[in-house]
Amino acid sequence: LVKTAELDPRQNYVMGFHPHGVLAVGAFVNFCTEATGFSTIFPGITPHLMMLSLWFRFPFFRDYLMSGGLVSSDRESAPCVLRKPEGGNMLAIVVGGAQEALDARPGSYTLVLKNRKGFVRVAIEHG
């Protein structure tokens, strides 16, 4: 995890993550644990990682996921995180999704965006 800019903790943010990889482990480690020191690098910002909505259908497991900062990747979840007026929230989206994970090849970085631009609309809608 590399800090490229100061983030104002009074604002909310959308962050794209690439590549997807196996089970998006890289995104999980960076945004749902303190393994890379996220809270030190971006003080006052609470990360929320979007995850396939299928996993949120299971009682108790859904609560476990949410306790780690994960949110469903359905259309209604992003505004819930980004509309909080006090700010300090960051929504991390693995932009290529499962399609990108299935196209992974050693030594290459293929970004899948053709029909996956909803994260741009979300960012524009929420400033």
Q: Kindly report, residue by residue over 32-58, the tens digit of the pLDDT.
A: 999 999 999 999 999 999 998 999 999
Mean residue pLDDT across the chain = 86
Contact 31, 107 (CB under 8 A): no
* Neighbouring residues of 62: CB distance < 8 A, sequence distance ≥ 6: 55, 56
Task: State both tokens at 119.
Answer: 């994260």
Considering the entire predicted model, what is its pTM?
A: 0.84
